[in-house]
Amino acid sequence: MDIALGKEDLAFAERMRSFFRSEIPAQIRLKGERGEHWSREDYVAAQQILNANGLAVPHWPVAWGGQEWSALQRHIWAEEMALAHVPAPLAFNAAMVGPVIATFGSEELKQRFLPPTANLDIWWCQGFSEPNAGSDLASLTTRAVRDGDSYVINGQKTWTTLAQWADWIFCLVRTDPEAKKQLGISFVLIDMKTPGVTVRPIRLIDGGYEVNEVFFDDVRIPADQLVGEENKGWDYAKFLLGNERTGVAGTGIIKSRITRLRKVAAQTSSHGKPLLEDPLFLARLTRLEVETTALTMSVMRVLANEAKHPGRPDPLSSVLKLRGSELQQEATELLMEALGPDALAYRESAAAADGFTALPDGAVDAMPTYFNWRKASIYSGSSEVQRTIIARAILKF
Amino acid sequence: MDFDPTDEQRMLAETVNSLLDKRYDPSSRLALLDSELGWSRELWQQYAQLGLLGLTFDEQYDGAGMGAAELATVMESFGRSLVLEPFFPTVVLGGTLVSEAGTPEQKAAILPKVAAGELLLAFACSERGSRWSQTDIGTTATRAGDGWTISGQKIAVAGADSADTLIVSAVTPDGIGLFLVDAAAVTIASYAMQDGQRGGDVLLADAPAELLGTDTDAIDHIRAVIDVATAALCAEAIGVCERMLAMTVDYLKTRVQFGRPISVFQALQFRAADMYVALEQARSMALLAGLSLAGDDPAARRQMVRAAKIQVDLSSRQIGQEAIQLHGGIGMTMEYPVGHYFKRSAVIAKTFADTNELIELVGAEGGLIG
């Protein structure tokens, strides 16, 4: 998107690019480039390097490790990180609970949680969704009852990403069942080691364990683990979800997938020629590239609008989520198609059995990623929710 | 980073829009469409007075010296009102070809007259059986004394019916040349195009011609001008699509069936939302096409302009088809404006190249990412 950037921002992008490519260990970046899963240690190692250099939580207040960057610079930071195959700072920490604590938490909570959250010494997971509260999140029923200096929590969360690795969970819980549904919700922090917390893994269609159910049976937490005011949790959740307008496009992910796809298609032979020269394949790839370029420019427009009119609702940000998730999915589909029969075996590792030829790049993850990425148009406001937001904006109902 | 129009561009748009709002209501437009000429010479003079007919020409040739962004501003407004005057063939194509390829004498002879509204141009390049190729053509130029003669046939020449001077591409011993041909020296079979704009086929039989510029191979000039024209068409298409979406939204909110405005039906809401997505993606690419024209690398510029046209055409098709569908039967009538916008967008999508051709070209040049 260099055409749209000024000199200073181009220099900033160059600075980010060279940092990510020189300071993050090559073996971590290589995993990303190959589409392999990062381990918990990889995430922690990368985030701690970023944090030591002031690059883990740039959107936080300066006092807590933030940078006075423009929204465009934050976007460039995230985009260059994705293009360099660096694991982004854990979203639950950096983009979600951190900003909520920094904005609404007491001084005590900030001192206690912000430094280890920025440094990934605490791994957070997100307790929002419930079996009967998905798109209609405010209908959640996990209950927190005040009892002296404690809250006692009962209920269930689901789709909790990487809860198996988490130290703490931030939860939306119902503290006032009598109030209108958005008004009786509070935002609490729970140590995963607290008695009564049970994690049950959910196996997804890609064969992996990414999400979990988390059960709370008479879980007693100190009342000072409430963030902000009781019954204001919905406001904090809206703040948290509205924080990120452009990351949802995932343009960095799409571009790095396309780069990988080009590599795979150049190495794959089809009818005696590289697949990359197959007119039908190339046409689909080109269309994906055009739509991705358009999306990248749409991101720039959202950023420019945001700089001019901070906080003003912009239906264009729904376009980013809607089209972004579709294009991310399309890229996974093309990669799977490029691999052909090499994508079919379900494998845990890229090592070929003794005596067999080495597997091509992508053979392990192409189909699982295709299956897994159907999630992108479901989470963070499904495509149908985004269409409803857009329809409401243009039809004004 | 600011993609909003400059104050100057905003004023330009306001000036053009206020004229068009007065003069291009649907019934006046229908009357113009049915008139013999198919457009208004009186409006043409008003465009000249506003400086639109020399918008991008150098000031020494009585132009306004403006750039791609201002041209896009005017084209978007013209798209919004579905302007019928031959601005695209005369100013965008003809004027840019002369500016790009002409000798100083030719520029001095032609551009001030165009800017004053006294001379109409058309670019004759397409031929039957050649589809979108600018080089696979049968029209040939032969030297004759100090000048040239040209023989061959051209098709689908926008503005051919009323042009005073044609700019014709023809095979020369060195490649593809560009030639100025007096419209009186050729046979023109005039017709209305599918969108109502006028044009025609051109038959050249040893027509006397003057080489435009000094190069007998002008293919680089032709391609450069098509880039500029394509970006301009993208901008026009944005105006067209904006109106189709706005009309559709109005219709959904006012059309009552089953006792309720049909905008309450989610099946229709979602289709309208998808039209918005398509429009905004196209707008992003039209903006990018304009920005890229300022770049130095012609290959990169061409890739981006072509990519923009792909997105604009895909979006226009979706928006146009959905606009008709969501209007129902009324959208099928010539009396109602939305179909006219749909027709214009379909013609834009078949000007200089179609979507498949552009996808093939962008893919063959190494794509856009990675």
- Better pLDDT: B137 or A243: B137
Whole-angstrom distance between the N-terminal and C-terminal Cα of chain B?
A: 24
Distance of alpha carbon A359 from alpha carbon A365, whole angstroms: 11
Residue A6 at interface with chain B, using a CB cutoff of 8 Å: yes
Q: Does residue B127 share a domain with residue B40?
A: no
Where are any strands of DSSP class E within B242-364?
A: 256-257, 260-261
Pairing of strands A211-222, A150-161: antiparallel
Residues of chain A with Cβ-Cβ distance to B314 below 8 Å are: 287
pLDDT at A2 over 80: no
Residues B2, A291: C-beta atoms closer than 8 Å: no
| Chain-chain contact of B269 with A391 (C-beta, under 8 angstroms) | yes
- Chain A with chain B: Cβ pairs closer than 8 A: 137
Q: Are residues B125 and B258 located together in one domain of the fold?
A: no
**Domain stop point among B100, B115, B130:** B115
What is each CA distance from A252 to A248, B183, B216, in whole angstroms?
A: 10, 53, 46
Residues of chain A with CATH 2.40.110.10: 124-231
Give the per-residue pLDDT at A246. 79
Q: Which two tokens stand for residue B81?
A: 């009102």
Is position B293 within any domain? yes
- Rounded Cα–Cα distance for residues A221 and A147 (Å): 10
Residue A62 has pLDDT above 70, yes or no: yes
Q: What is the mean pLDDT of residues B325-333?
A: 97
Would B1 be classed as within a structural domain?
A: no
Cβ distance of B249 and A294 shorter than 8 Å? no
Determine contact, residues B320/B345, Cβ cutoff 8 Å.
Answer: yes
B211 shares its domain with B226: no
Residue type, B253: K
The answer to whether residues A216 and A142 touch, using CB atoms and an 8 Å cutoff, is yes
Domains in chain B, number: 3
**Domain formed by A245-395, architecture:** Up-down Bundle (1.20)
Which tens digit of pLDDT belongs to each residue from B30-44? 999 999 999 999 999
Taking the C-alpha atoms of residue B276 and residue A224, their distance in angstroms, rounded to an integer, is 46
Does residue A277 contact residue A353 with C-beta atoms inside 8 Å? no
Rounded CA-CA distance A313/A334 in Å is 34
Distance from CA of A58 to the nearest CA of B (A): 20
Query: With an 8 Å Cβ cutoff, is A85 touching chain B?
Result: no
Per-residue pLDDT of A67-116, as tens digits, reads: 999 989 999 999 999 999 999 999 999 999 999 999 999 999 999 999 99
Residues A342-365 have a mean pLDDT of: 91
Q: Which of B245, B282, B369 sits opposite A255 (nearest CB)?
A: B369
CATH topology of domain A2-89: Butyryl-Coa Dehydrogenase, subunit A; domain 1 (1.10.540)
Cα distance between residue A317 and residue A303, in whole Å: 10
Residues B138 and B187 in one domain: yes
Does any CB of chain B come closer than 8 Å to the CB of residue A391? yes
3-state secondary structure of B152: strand
Determine the Cα–Cα distance for residues A303 and A314; give it in Å rounded to an integer: 10
Instruction: For residue A107, give both structure tokens.
Output: 């001084």
In whole angstroms, what is the distance from residue A194 CA to residue A198 CA? 9
Q: Are residues B357 and B224 in the same domain?
A: yes
Q: Does B304 sit within 8 Å of A290, measured CB to CB?
A: no
Q: Do B273 and A394 touch (CB under 8 A)?
A: yes
Domain assignment present for B2? no
- Tens of pLDDT, residue by residue over A282-296, are 999 999 999 999 999
Instruction: Write out the residue limits of the CATH 1.10.540 domain(s) in chain A.
Output: 2-89
**pLDDT of A311 over the 90 cut:** no
Nearest CB among B2, B314, B360 relative to A283 is that of B360
What is the pLDDT averaged over residues B333-352? 97
Closest CA to A251 of A73, A80, A71: A80
Angle at CA of residue A304, ends A302 and A306, nearest 5°: 65
* Together in a domain, B253 and B332: yes
Structure tokens at A87: 């694991």
Considering the domain boundaries, does residue B369 fall inside one? no
Cβ contact A308–B4 (<8 Å):
yes
Lowest mean pLDDT among A137-146, A184-193, A351-360, B235-244: A351-360
* Co-location of B212 and B224 in the same domain: no
Pick the CATH number of A124-231 from 3.90.1490.10, 2.30.110.10, 2.40.110.10, 1.10.357.10: 2.40.110.10
Q: Which of B68, B96, B115 is where one domain is finished?
A: B115
In sequence order, what are the residues at sequence separation of 6 or more whose Cβ sits closer than 8 angstroms to the Cβ of residue B28? Answer: none
Q: Which 247-276 residues of chain A touch chain B by CB within 8 A?
A: 255, 258-259, 261-263
pLDDT tens for B88-138 read 999 999 999 999 999 999 999 999 999 999 999 999 999 999 999 999 999
The complex's ipTM works out to 0.95
B283: pLDDT strictly greater than 80: yes
pLDDT of residue B98: 98
Do A308 and B369 make contact, defined as CB atoms within 8 angstroms?
Answer: no
In this structure, the answer to whether residues B251 and B355 fall within a common structural domain is: yes
Examine the domain organization and report whether B247 and B348 are in the same domain.
yes
- Tell me if A159 sits within 8 A of A207, measured CB to CB: no
The CATH number assigned to the domain holding B228 equals 1.20.140.10
B81 has a chain A CB within 8 A of its CB: no
CATH code at position B150: 2.40.110.10
Pair (B12, B106) in one structural domain: yes
B20 and B108, same domain (yes or no): yes
Q: Which of these three, B53, B83, B115, is where a domain ends? A: B115
> Mutation test of the interface with chain B: which of A277, A395, A396, choosing the one with the most B Cβ atoms within 10 A?
A395
Nearest to B52 by CA among B68, B69, B74: B74
Average pLDDT over residues B206-223: 98
Instruction: Return the residue of B nearest to A305 by Cα.
Output: B2
Give the number of other Cβ atoms within 10 Å of residue A360's Cβ.
17
Residues 142-201 of B with CB under 8 A from A: none
CB of A345 less than 8 A from some CB of B: no
Measured between alpha carbons, how far is A365 from A348 in angstroms, rounded to an integer?
A: 9
Residue B319 forms contact with A (CB below 8 Å): no
DSSP per-residue codes, A140-160: ---EEEEETTEEEEEEEEEEE
Question: Are B206 and B95 contained in the same domain?
Answer: no
A333 is catalytic: no
Instruction: Check A80, A130, A230, A244 and give the catalytic one.
Output: A244
CA B350 to chain centre: 11
DSSP secondary structure letters along B254-265? H-EETTEEGGG-
Over 70: is that where the pLDDT of B19 sits?
Answer: yes
- The Cα of B1 is separated from the nearest Cα of chain A by a number of Å equal to 6
Q: Which positions ≥6 away from A310 have C-beta within 8 Å?
A: none
The pLDDT value given to residue A268: 93
Hunting for tokens 């739509």 — which residue is that? A291
Which of B195, B206, B184, B120 minimizes the C-alpha distance to B156? B195
Other CB atoms within 10 Å distance of the CB of residue A54: 13
Q: How many CA atoms lie within 13 A of B33 on its CB side?
A: 20
Residue type, B211: L
How many CB atoms are closer than 10 A to CB A22?
Answer: 9
Instruction: Inform me whether the C-beta atom of residue B2 falls under 8 Å from chain A C-beta atoms.
Output: yes
CA distance B259 to B145: 77
Buried b (16+ CB within 10 A) or exposed e, A214-253: bbbeebebeeebbbbebbbbbbbbeebeeebbbbbbbbbb
Any domain includes B20: yes
The reported pLDDT for the residue numbered A1 is: 58
Distance CA A226, CA A1 (A): 43
In the structure encoding, which two tokens stand for residue B366, read together? 């190494």
**B288: which chain A residues are within 8 Å (Cβ-Cβ)?**
3-4, 293-294, 297
**Hey, what are A179's tokens?**
């109030």
> To the nearest whole angstrom, how far is the Cα of A375 from the nearest Cα of chain B?
20
- Could you tell me if B155 and B97 are in contact, meaning their C-beta atoms sit under 8 angstroms apart? no
Q: What is the mean pLDDT of chain A?
A: 95
Which residue segment(s) compose the domain that B170 sits in? 121-216
B368 → closest Cβ in A293, A300, A390: A293
- Residue recorded with tokens 């951190």: A98
